[in-house]
Copies of this chain bind each other. A is one copy, B any other.
């Protein structure tokens, strides 16, 4: 049931690359610079990721009605799937700024997003619609173009295989650490003997809960050969099992954006991966792995978080109800404050399940916290409080629920609630 899907990844020989990131895959370079969106000259605030050649690109975006100008413009630039269809096409570069979201800025905002792409295209040497864009920061403020005039040429001068780390740092807002990872998989057993493929990426959170509109931005790259429509399918599948399972409401902020590029540079002469083949399955496993790792990093880096919290719900009547139930628990401030307070207060979990909208009978519910049964048949189970306290020392707190209402399940990641606010709620039982 683990969404990280280690077994699946292992089957395809995925393994993590040390210090891997958005430039681990062949055919990509990156840089992060201080362009001037932020006042502090020591803070990187613009990232550029470029492919050596125009290549397949796909995007997955926020569903928020107030979707930002860069989202609208990137959709225009990835329009091979048609208006309102899946966002994919050909692209050479992605430019991302932090400090201003360019959201709720109307037609002038869209003009600025188009100009941001045009400036980048001029410098990189491609067409404007081969550049996709993302912005994160304050909403309702117009985006300055001057920093791009300075920053894009500076970044272009600096782009390198080592630049992924700076790029990951440049897209941070309230994040406390940059978020990067990469995995490789062998082509030996999937029809590409002797080739090693790489999928890498970077992402930004997301504070505790929806800070800074919780903008989630991620750029994933691979050197596997994949056509744009199939790349979109793989990306969408991975996003639904990873970023969309982190409860920072990031799936619905104004600027959420995830791009994926496929250069094919690991096997330039080879036939592209086709859906349904072992090669495509291996790629999917690798993309899942990278997105899940980045999503877990996002949850772990919640503002003030002391714990990664994993909520798994089994035995739901439908996948949608499993999701409702797991989200209700993961979003409950009461549950999150109890975890911060190292309090195995399962009543709060039960309360969240009961109001989630999922259908079940109270007397069929089973709940475990850190592997300790705390509720069976809807009733309290005596447990060793000292042992519970010991288990709460772990960096990841696992809550597992069986609703006893069916065969569906899901896993959601979140973080605990700390700070003084929590001191009121965290020790309620004492």
Q: Cβ of A354 and Cβ of B64 under 8 Å apart?
A: yes
Q: Which residue of B lies closest to A173 (CB)?
A: B428
Q: Cβ of A363 and Cβ of B106 under 8 Å apart?
A: yes
Closest Cβ of chain B to A244, distance in Å, is 13
Q: Cβ of B350 and Cβ of A139 under 8 Å apart?
A: yes
Give the chain B neighbours of A138 by CB distance below 8 A.
Answer: 345, 347, 428-429
A417 proximal to B (CB < 8 A): yes
Binding stretch for chain B, among A43-51, A177-185, A248-256, A285-293: A248-256
**How many copies of this protein are present in the complex?**
2
Give the chain B neighbours of A422 by CB distance below 8 A.
Answer: 421
Q: How far is the CA of A346 from the CA of B66 in the complex (A)?
A: 12
Give the chain B neighbours of A350 by CB distance below 8 A.
Answer: 66, 103-104, 139-140, 254
A150 proximal to B (CB < 8 A): no
Count, chain A residues at interface, CB 8 A: 59
Indicate with 1 or 0, residue by residue over A52-71, a CB within 8 angstroms of chain B CB atoms: 00000000000111110000
Indicate with 1 or 0, residue by residue over A227-268, a CB within 8 angstroms of chain B CB atoms: 000000000000000000000010011100000000000000
Q: Which residue of B lies closest to A254 (CB)?
A: B351
Q: Cβ of A140 and Cβ of B380 under 8 Å apart?
A: yes
Binding stretch for chain B, among A79-87, A163-171, A208-216: A208-216
Indicate with 1 or 0, residue by residue over A333-370, a CB within 8 angstroms of chain B CB atoms: 11000000000011110110111000011110000000
User: Which residues of A approach B to under 8 Å, CB–CB?
Assistant: 63-67, 101, 103-106, 138-141, 174, 207-213, 249, 252-254, 303-304, 332-334, 345-348, 350-351, 353-355, 360-363, 375, 377-380, 417-422, 424-425, 428-429
Q: Cβ of A63 and Cβ of B355 under 8 Å apart?
A: yes
Q: How far is the CA of A210 from the CA of B141 in the complex (A)?
A: 34
Given pairs A104-B375, A139-B351, A208-B421, 18 additional interface contacts (CB within 8 A): A64-B351, A65-B361, A66-B362, A66-B378, A67-B354, A101-B347, A104-B347, A104-B379, A105-B380, A106-B377, A139-B345, A139-B348, A140-B346, A141-B380, A213-B347, A213-B348, A213-B351, A419-B419
Q: Cβ of B380 and Cβ of A428 under 8 Å apart?
A: no
List 23 A–B pairs whose Cβ atoms lie within 8 Å, in order of A's numbering.
A65-B354, A66-B353, A67-B354, A103-B347, A104-B380, A106-B363, A138-B345, A139-B345, A139-B351, A207-B425, A208-B424, A211-B424, A211-B425, A211-B428, A213-B334, A213-B348, A254-B350, A254-B351, A303-B424, A303-B425, A304-B421, A419-B421, A421-B421
